[in-house]
Amino acid sequence: MKENSTQNHSTGETYQDIYRWGNKKSTEVDLGTLAFLEKRFSTQRETQRKIGKMVSSQKTVEISPSKLLPEHKAFFENLLGKENVKSSDFARANHSFGKFYTDLLFLRNAQVPFPPDVVLSPKNHQEIESIVAYCNQHKIAILPFAGGSSVTRALEFPHGGVALDLKSRLNQIIEINQTNHTVTAQSGILGPDLEAALNKEGYTCGHFPQSFEFSTLGGWVAAKGAGQCSTGYGRAEELLVSLKAVTPIGTFEGKDFPSAVQGFDLKHLFVGSEGTLGVITEVTWKIFKHRPQNTQKSSFIFKDFFSSTAAMREMIQNEIGKPHLFRISDGKETDFAFSHLGFQGTWKDKLLSTLGYKSPQRCTMVMTVEGESTYGKSVMGNMKKIARKHGGFPSGEEPINKWLKQRFDSPYLRDGLMEEGYMIDTLETAVTWDNLHGLWQAIHRYFETNPKVYGMSHISHVYPNGCNIYAIFISPMKDEPLENTLKEFHAFQQGIIQTFVENKGSISHHHGVGRMGAEFMSGQFPKEGFSMMQGIKDLFDPSGIMNPGGNMLGLKDRFGSEDSKS
Amino acid sequence: MKENSTQNHSTGETYQDIYRWGNKKSTEVDLGTLAFLEKRFSTQRETQRKIGKMVSSQKTVEISPSKLLPEHKAFFENLLGKENVKSSDFARANHSFGKFYTDLLFLRNAQVPFPPDVVLSPKNHQEIESIVAYCNQHKIAILPFAGGSSVTRALEFPHGGVALDLKSRLNQIIEINQTNHTVTAQSGILGPDLEAALNKEGYTCGHFPQSFEFSTLGGWVAAKGAGQCSTGYGRAEELLVSLKAVTPIGTFEGKDFPSAVQGFDLKHLFVGSEGTLGVITEVTWKIFKHRPQNTQKSSFIFKDFFSSTAAMREMIQNEIGKPHLFRISDGKETDFAFSHLGFQGTWKDKLLSTLGYKSPQRCTMVMTVEGESTYGKSVMGNMKKIARKHGGFPSGEEPINKWLKQRFDSPYLRDGLMEEGYMIDTLETAVTWDNLHGLWQAIHRYFETNPKVYGMSHISHVYPNGCNIYAIFISPMKDEPLENTLKEFHAFQQGIIQTFVENKGSISHHHGVGRMGAEFMSGQFPKEGFSMMQGIKDLFDPSGIMNPGGNMLGLKDRFGSEDSKS
């Protein structure tokens, strides 16, 4: 299958071919991690492995037939060519999910509750204009589908309709402009393809989300993403220069001015719109000189979360320049990582404990600085000074080098953990510094309400006025019917978002809202703010064809007669 | 007059009390400048001075009576107290203009074509909610009026109605949050008041437009402003954390997350909205440590515009950190400044010429770096290296010190020049690096079409992908009827904007669009972009009461039966 090969799946048509994160790398879980989990949960390896294997489906995909009317199919085939209009079971199932935990569960149980009726692979802006206009006229739902890496239930088709496959053909670089330090490309280009083309000319895109290998330029903008080096390079909204998008009321095309006043700037509406307003077709993006040889790296161990975050805050607020990668793993995550890296129990571990850097309070901070070499040294020198002032123990380059080596591996690890009978999920939120500790403590209190959960967190995107927090939890899977598992997971997971918003965090920092956070949306907008968002949605998409049925707006369904079944 | 005293005017009620930029400083023009202009235009001092004095009006203000219905006045008096509802001739005339050249001309000719019917001075968000709801119900036009420093014809009342005076009472600081490095204040606070309160706590607002003394926090956001140090601190949209605004369809209240995904972010709509969507009532803004003792300063002379901009581009693209103030005066502006500073003809001038830095090609670059001291030194060190590489002649701290001393003086100088019979006006545009030289040359070609114009330009806001350009022109005033003068000025001035947009510049970089650029708006949006902007306007302001009649959207008038007379 062509549309599959870009994800490096095997060439089969099984559920596993859809749910796996790619097959380039081993997904085997290291023994250190397994031992850590077994100790924590008093689980047996064979029992958990059996549960894991039970939800590992190599069946060939079979789903309910497409409801696309023949005349619509004919229109699309005429427009795009037959080979770019797919309604096979596999093609449709392959565009029915992101990589959210429940997405994987459904697939591992050979279930596809909300498939599209057809997968269309347009090659340019004009074809997308024709598709959107046609669908608007005939009230056919559309959802742009590119990398497919969503972890927020952003990719579901409760009303069937069109999955607009952007990555197969809408993936060309239009211009690398070395004078302006920008690149313009079609929105469906995958991270590695964009980066390779830029590297060849001596540039980098500066944006490396964990989903980098299977996410696209347009997806980064639509989900308002942030890469691992966002503290230095900026997040998607800052890297974005301009964009072109097709909406049901027409095309928006921005200009690439560095900054201009021409009324309010509509491009911001598409940032974080998650397919609810239109389809982003082209993006102009900032680029940077690619000089990996200049990268300064360092790491520190702190005695606790409070001293590490005090250091972090001082580093980002003292106007010493900015690190690019900048992270703190809290005590629980540090313990988990140390077990994964085989650090626990070594003499270094013992030395640290003797010096007062004790598990489970001790935290790890890692940072890199990129750019011109003297700049990097100046920034890193000042960061080190501040780290020491707050009691940071210098742990050198090894931790950051290890981290960088596996920077895109966590999604593979998740597949492996599921095979071993453990689920892992992750949510994230944004918070101001003055609410950080309260929120962090609330997250851990919440984790502790469930003895079958190991919860940990880290900070990975840092701003002068605050930061994000990741909330990550691992739990042994149970031998229970899918329905119960889903219900239990849903309840626990929504409780985390509830904890975020009750403690002054946002629904999400950069994963997006999706259907996962939809219920919380209206509550986040005091006064008339949320109805204004609905008004914008209705303005751009009067028939409600863009991503209908419980999307991130949390809107009541305005499409078709049937309510979302999700 | 209370509403006048904050601008440091005299306590009279004359036209001069309105049009003068304040009376703290002498507005006398130095002899060097006068000699330069007389030589350039072959003008006579006494003749020009006579023309200047002719349009200097110390008459007491008298204008047509307010059309506000008694029941509306009673409602406002009941809501705000009688003392906060003003309809005297002077109060209304004093809220009828910004500081655009034609604004000054009208006032100097004792004319007030578009006054409001009443000036309301609310003290909080709730009062503004009541005012906007009432006006929406009764179809009364509203225009927020704060610092009154607009240079784009943003402040006119072709349909009368309410001037919402935000600076008199809506000017309180709500919180200085030292943990988050943010300040929250009511929108009508003037720059100096905000900065003084921050300085007291060891912080700075980082935003210093030339209008600093008479512009407000909310105005900076509404016009999408940029201060003189925006290259380092960022422009208003980047300094803005969140805002609260009243619109005819209700209140929008953002959250102060450092960055979050909660759908598309509506705060961006109010940035650059120029009063067309609603009234910004509160703003949360980033702040920085105030450490003026750390400021690094430097300046260079370059042989021409091309080498100076090549150096500037390399400095901003090389990831060496960022300067805060960063400017290039082109050859014509350098000549003008040198005459103003009495530099021309000195031995230093001669030495420079001998070394190949000749008038009128030679350009001046000035820069400062703020922040932590070792950071500042590192950035400046790298900038100096790059400057030398491009042939920059180091001219030390004196030029930048002189510039800083008079950084807010140009508006005073304009008053002085008008008294001497010369008009000066300034427009600005944003452009990418690859279009910079073409645009700059086109601006000068345009200036040269008029022999009675001395045109010059500078760059003062710099980005990795481009910069702004100012287009400034001086011309001797003529002894002609106001109508002719206005017509001639309008034609020449619109020609500059036309030159911008034809050469891939924006309508404006940070002054705003106002009525001055309104006609160009629709042409700047390909495809359906402009109708989307109109849609947003209609969504937030369905009755069209916010700044109606030829505002920055260039919309057809949807308010009342009468077309804009402007």
pLDDT at B8 over 60: no
pLDDT score recorded for residue B1? 29
B536:A540 CB<8 A: no
Strand segments, DSSP code E, in A279-421 are: 279-286, 288-289, 296-302, 326-329, 363-369, 393-394
Query: Contacts of residue B466 in chain A, CB cutoff 8 Å?
Result: 180, 257-258
CB-CB neighbours of A391 under 10 Å: 17
Query: Contacts of residue A511 in chain B, CB cutoff 8 Å?
Result: 261
The residue count for chain B: 566
Question: Distance (Å) from the C-alpha of residue B387 to the closest C-alpha of chain A?
Answer: 16
A513:B320 CB<8 A: no
Q: Are B547 and B531 spatial neighbours (Cβ–Cβ below 8 Å)?
A: no
Query: Contacts of residue B250 in chain A, CB cutoff 8 Å?
Result: 527-529, 531-532
Q: What is the band of B56 on the pLDDT scale with cuts at 50, 70, 90?
A: confident
Closest alpha carbon to A321 in A259, A266, A367:
A367
Query: Contacts of residue B262 in chain A, CB cutoff 8 Å?
Result: 272, 506-508, 513, 521, 524-525
Closest alpha carbon to A319 in B203, B482, B168, B473:
B203
Three-state SS at B264: coil
In this structure, are strands B162-165 and B142-145 parallel, antiparallel, or unpaired? parallel
Q: In angstroms, rounded to a whole number, what is the distance separating the alpha carbons of residues B564 and B255?
A: 37
Question: Distance (Å) from the C-alpha of residue A180 to the closest C-alpha of chain B?
Answer: 4
Q: In angstroms, rounded to a whole number, what is the distance separating the alpha carbons of residues A500 and A241?
A: 31
Q: What is the DSSP string of B306-364?
A: HHHHHHHHHHHHTTS---SEEEEE-HHHHHHHHHHTT-TTSHHHHHHHHTT--TTT-EE
pTM above 0.90, yes or no: yes
* CA diameter of chain B: 75
Across the interface, of B259, B319, B524, the residue whose CB is closest to A375 is B319
Q: What is the count of residue pairs from A and B with beta carbons less than 8 Å apart?
A: 306
Q: What is the band of B178 on the pLDDT scale with cuts at 50, 70, 90?
A: very high
Q: Are A177 and A538 spatial neighbours (Cβ–Cβ below 8 Å)?
A: no
CB-CB neighbours of B348 under 10 Å: 12
Among chain A residues, the shortest Cα distance to B322 is held by A321
Among chain A residues, the shortest Cα distance to B516 is held by A262
Question: Distance (Å) from the C-alpha of residue A429 to the closest C-alpha of chain B?
Answer: 7
DSSP state of B62: -
Q: What is the DSSP string of A149-188?
A: --SSS----TT--EEEE-TTTS--EEEEETTTTEEEEETT
Query: Contacts of residue A466 in chain B, CB cutoff 8 Å?
Result: 180, 257-258
A264:B271 CB<8 A: yes
Closest alpha carbon to A245 in B527, B336, B243:
B527
Interface test with A, best of B220, B229, B262 (most A CBs within 10 A): B262
Query: Contacts of residue A247 in chain B, CB cutoff 8 Å?
Result: 528, 532
Q: What is the mean pLDDT of each run of 10 residues along chain A (566 residues)?
A: 38 87 77 93 96 88 96 98 98 96 94 97 98 97 96 94 98 98 98 98 98 97 97 97 98 94 94 96 98 97 98 98 98 92 86 95 98 97 98 95 90 91 96 98 98 97 98 96 93 96 97 93 93 95 92 68 40
Q: What is the band of B24 on the pLDDT scale with cuts at 50, 70, 90?
A: low
pLDDT at B561 over 60: no
Question: Distance (Å) from the C-alpha of residue A494 to the closest C-alpha of chain B?
Answer: 16
Report angle CA A422, A424, A430 to the nearest 5 degrees: 165
Report angle CA B433, B436, B437 to the nearest 5 degrees: 125
Average pLDDT over chain B reads 93
pLDDT score recorded for residue A24? 62
A250:B179 CB<8 A: no
pLDDT score recorded for residue A50? 95
Query: Contacts of residue B248 in chain A, CB cutoff 8 Å?
Result: none
- What's the pLDDT tens digit per position in B62-113? 999 999 999 999 999 999 999 999 999 999 999 999 999 999 999 999 999 9
Question: Distance (Å) from the C-alpha of residue B81 to the closest C-alpha of chain A?
Answer: 26
A253:B224 CB<8 A: no
Question: Distance (Å) from the C-alpha of residue B289 to the closest C-alpha of chain A?
Answer: 7
**Per-state percent for chain A, helix, strand, coil, to nearest 5:** 40, 20, 40
Closest alpha carbon to B236 in B277, B179, B280:
B280
Q: What is the band of B256 on the pLDDT scale with cuts at 50, 70, 90?
A: very high
Three-state SS at A103: helix
DSSP state of B190: B
pLDDT score recorded for residue B566? 35
Query: Contacts of residue B460 in chain A, CB cutoff 8 Å?
Result: none
pLDDT score recorded for residue B4? 36
Closest alpha carbon to A546 in A554, A537, A536:
A537
Across the interface, of A286, A319, A511, the residue whose CB is closest to B371 is A319
Among chain B residues, the shortest Cα distance to A285 is held by B465
CB-CB neighbours of B311 under 10 Å: 23
Buried b (16+ CB within 10 A) or exposed e, A504-516: bbbbbbbbbbbbb
- What's the pLDDT tens digit per position in B500-535? 999 999 999 999 999 999 999 999 999 999 999 999
H or E segment and range at residue A6: none
- What's the pLDDT tens digit per position in B212-246? 999 999 999 999 999 999 999 999 999 999 999 99
Q: Are A528 and A288 spatial neighbours (Cβ–Cβ below 8 Å)?
A: no
- What's the pLDDT tens digit per position in B157-176? 999 999 999 999 999 999 99
Across the interface, of A250, A258, A372, the residue whose CB is closest to B432 is A258
Interface test with A, best of B175, B255, B257 (most A CBs within 10 A): B257
Closest alpha carbon to B48 in B473, B455, B423:
B423
Closest alpha carbon to A187 in A141, A220, A227:
A220
pLDDT score recorded for residue B54? 83
Residues 6+ apart with CB under 8 A from A115: A63, A64, A92, A93, A95, A96, A157, A160
Interface test with A, best of B259, B431, B439 (most A CBs within 10 A): B259
Q: What is the DSSP string of B358-403?
A: -TTT-EEEEEEE-SSHHHHHHHHHHHHHHHHHTTPEE--SHHHHHH
A263:B382 CB<8 A: no
Query: Contacts of residue A507 in chain B, CB cutoff 8 Å?
Result: 260-262
Interface test with B, best of A150, A251, A319 (most B CBs within 10 A): A319
H or E segment and range at residue B455: strand B454-459
Question: Distance (Å) from the C-alpha of residue B79 to the closest C-alpha of chain A?
Answer: 21
Phi, psi of B548 (to 5 degrees): -80, 160
Across B188-209, average pLDDT: 98
Among chain A residues, the shortest Cα distance to B271 is held by A264
Q: Are B246 and A524 spatial neighbours (Cβ–Cβ below 8 Å)?
A: no
**Minimum mean pLDDT range among A378-382, A495-499, B25-29, B345-349:** B25-29
Q: In angstroms, rounded to a whole number, what is the distance separating the alpha carbons of residues A421 and A53?
A: 8
Q: In angstroms, rounded to a whole number, what is the distance separating the alpha carbons of residues A242 and A268?
A: 9
Query: Contacts of residue B381 in chain A, CB cutoff 8 Å?
Result: 374
Q: Are B263 and B330 spatial neighbours (Cβ–Cβ below 8 Å)?
A: no
Closest alpha carbon to B111 in B73, B156, B69:
B156
